Structure 1
Amino acid sequence: MAAAMVEMDGSIMEGGGQILRVSAALSCINGASIRINKIRAGRGTPGLRSVGLLLQVSLPCALYADGPSELCLKGGTNADMAPQIDYTIKVFKPIVEKFGVHFNCDLRMRGYYPKGGGEVVAKVSPVSELSPVNMTERGTISKIYGRSFVAGVLPYKLAKDMATTATRVIRREIKDLYINIQTLQEKDMACGSGNGIIIIAESSTGCIFAGSALGKKGVYPDKVGFEAAEMLLRNIRHNGCVDEFLQDQLILFMALANGISRIRTGPVTLHTKTAIHVAEQLTQAKFTVTKADDENASNDTYIIECQGVGVTNPHF
């Protein structure tokens, strides 16, 4: 007898593509039938849009395939309202590998708004099952580096100005570390014109955080650099182990893993609450969110804990 179809309301909570991404991936993995109504109803332009987020849907599915998968994803690689591809490679990838995930990401062409035209090839190895993670010790910030870029017709000076401002802002709070932000003018590897910056901080225990911003017409480069630096600092002030953008991306892996995962984080975002809601609707995973009460915790430090369901790959 076929399982009853699960109806999902695409307008609840965050009301964006998060509901679709988590639902579609879990439906593919556990074979549940779902119907999602009012997709991205909470957005100014409802319906399906951002190509850059496809990896968030396809990667979990490929983990439970009967062999290696190769995914060719085309569209914007550095666009607003989606993780920059640099974030996926430098932050998401090394952290999700703690669950036992292994994939390579080959960036063949960068694509900028509104042209798109970027291309990323991801090669994913299947798993027998995912391991739980315990990320509760932040340690000290040990490394800060980044990438400030211009592409197309934009002048190289923009990259230098973004990097200079970002470095100055970070130095106000973190004085004893060398900050290595590369400045680049992209030519052959870019489709269209664009500029932006991503700054990454690593901790002594292997935690990784990022702040990023993209340039827009009429926005001064020092404002772009300032925004990225402030975003990074905001995400390391709360003494958590993941930043606000990685938080929700790990929920799916916590739900699928075999055992209890614990992640220390800053304020729990609406994206994360949405991902937890969907994961609990479509699996037997159980999440709890509690305030951290140790001596290093601030008022907005939390522990997200999950009893994962231990999904196994039937092909192993």
Structure 2
Amino acid sequence: MTTLIDGSVLEGGGQILRNSISLAALLGKPISIHKVRNGRKPPGLKNQHRTGIELAAEIASARLTGATNGSTEVEFAPGRITPGNYTADPVTAGAATLLLQISLPLLLFTPSATPSTLTLKGGTNATSAPQIDYIQRVFLPFATRHFGLKVDVDVRRRGYFPRGGGEVHVTVFPGADGARLTSASVMERGTVTRIGGIAHIAGLPGHLGRTMAEGATRRLAQRGFAPDAAVPVPVEIESRREKNENTVGAGSGIVLWAELAGGGVIGGSAVGRKGADAVTVGEEAANELINGLEADGCVDEWLQDQIIIFMALAEGTSEVRCGKDGLTLHTRTAIWVAEQLTDAKFDVTVEDSGHTIIRCTGIGYTAPTDSDLSNK
């Protein structure tokens, strides 16, 4: 029986598509998604989304219909997930990180323990998706520590809007012998133990990276995050100018992250753009990080929605303390998709302190064995 997914629910964007396709592939459930990206103008698939579901279809040996640009209805009937070496290229500045979001859960659960590789092309640093540095410094350290993921990411070439052309190599190590994801319990924030960062530029004068880093450092110090503050916090923001052969086009950006004693991590980022001076870009990233820290949760607003699918797949009960700003629309959408396609049970509560707690009893998903597949 085909499961129907309404792509206009809540956030109404590409996240519904990515999470639905990933879960359908893992669970062997044919799905039909209608009103795809109904909350966007124009609605329907763009290059980036089409490339992502085509990648998932290749990994999962799926029958895919409706995967054309502008399409508002997609049908996906998965088969066997196979480890291998896969390449995806939207031929635009479409985000490589969003291609990773749809494909990573599949390759974590291949029938054998054979590692897989992804060569993901497109944009690496844009405003409409997590920067690749955020994935490397915030998402993956958190997911590795708390869910047991093992993933390596190597940025071979940066690609900036509007030309794209970046290239990211990812190695995914699935669990051996049907290993399940571990449940996460991240309820104590603790102190800020360190703030790290990277200011990256390409095709531009080197001093702009240093200026971005200095702008972020000064802003953080104004809010009490500095080595010489009353409560000392080490702050280390690297400035990196990429070699011309390692980039396509010119661009810049900065990603910051705060490591918390309780095992959480908060990120902040900004992307350079025409008309914005480097100091302002650095301050924007710092302000984003400060806002995340002052919300007083263990994860930031972007990390909270990215971990929902892993909470649903993990074994046992996961619990994560979010900030006082409540759940984002993206997070509520991710929970809705997980509840449509899995038996995971989510419970969202708001404490007297104002913090939102997400608890999830996961399904303890394991990769099907060869005998399971032969008996289908």
Q: Does 1:61 align with 2:126?
A: no
Q: Does 1:15 align with 2:72?
A: no
What's the counterpart of residue 261 of structure 1? 318
Out of 114, 125, 137, the position equivalent to 2:162 is 114
Query: Quick one: structure 1 residues 18 and 147, their matched pair in 2 at CA, closer, same or farther if it must change by over 3 Å?
Result: same
Question: Helix, strand or coil: the match of 1:77?
Answer: coil
Out of 125, 129, 146, the position equivalent to 2:173 is 125
- Alignment partners' CA distance in 1, 2:95 and 2:221: 35
- Alignment partners' CA distance in 2, 1:227 and 1:39: 32
Post-superposition shift, 1:45?
A: 4.0
2:271 corresponds to which letter in structure 1? L
Out of 308, 312, 315, the position equivalent to 2:366 is 312
What's the counterpart of residue 230 of structure 1? 287
What's the counterpart of residue 161 of structure 1? 211
Question: Helix, strand or coil: the match of 2:255?
Answer: strand
What's the counterpart of residue 190 of structure 1? 247
Kept in 1: contact 2:193–2:234 (CA 8 A): no
Post-superposition shift, 1:140?
A: 0.1
Kept in 1: contact 2:272–2:281 (CA 8 A): yes
Unaligned runs of 5+ in 2: 49-93, 371-376
Mapping for residues 1-316 of structure 1, pairs under 5 Å: 4-46=1-43, 47-48=45-46, 49=48, 50-52=94-96, 53-66=98-111, 67-97=114-144, 98-127=146-175, 128-152=179-203, 154-174=204-224, 175=229, 176-187=232-243, 188-266=245-323, 267-293=326-352, 297=353, 299=354, 301-315=355-369
Kept in 1: contact 2:95–2:125 (CA 8 A): no
What's the counterpart of residue 77 of structure 2? none
- Alignment partners' CA distance in 2, 1:157 and 1:185: 9
- Alignment partners' CA distance in 2, 1:110 and 1:186: 8
2:222 corresponds to which letter in structure 1? R
What's the counterpart of residue 72 of structure 2? none
Post-superposition shift, 1:14?
A: 0.6
Between stretches 246-255 and 119-128, larger displacement belongs to 119-128
Which has the higher relative contact order, 1 or 2, with Cα contacts under 8 A spaced 6 or more apart?
1
- Alignment partners' CA distance in 2, 1:271 and 1:257: 20
Question: Helix, strand or coil: the match of 1:74?
Answer: strand
Post-superposition shift, 1:222?
A: 2.2
Question: Helix, strand or coil: the match of 1:261?
Answer: strand
Question: Helix, strand or coil: the match of 1:101?
Answer: coil
Post-superposition shift, 1:238?
A: 2.0
Q: Deviations over 1:122-144 (max 9, x none)?
A: 11111221111101011100101
Q: Deviations over 1:275-302 (max 9, x none)?
A: 0000000001111111134xxx4x3x21
Q: TM-score, normalised by structure 1?
A: 0.93
1:305 corresponds to which letter in structure 2? R
Share of identical aligned residues, percent? 48
2:33 corresponds to which letter in structure 1? I
- Alignment partners' CA distance in 2, 1:131 and 1:312: 11
Moved over 3 A (4+): none
Between stretches 19-28 and 31-40, larger displacement belongs to 31-40
Post-superposition shift, 1:220?
A: 2.1
2:101 corresponds to which letter in structure 1? Q
- Alignment partners' CA distance in 2, 1:103 and 1:145: 21
Q: TM-score, normalised by structure 2?
A: 0.79
- Alignment partners' CA distance in 1, 2:95 and 2:195: 29
- Alignment partners' CA distance in 2, 1:159 and 1:131: 39
Unaligned runs of 5+ in 1: none
Question: Helix, strand or coil: the match of 1:164?
Answer: helix
Kept in 1: contact 2:187–2:262 (CA 8 A): no
Kept in 2: contact 1:292–1:302 (CA 8 A): yes
Post-superposition shift, 1:115?
A: 1.1
Post-superposition shift, 1:208?
A: 1.5
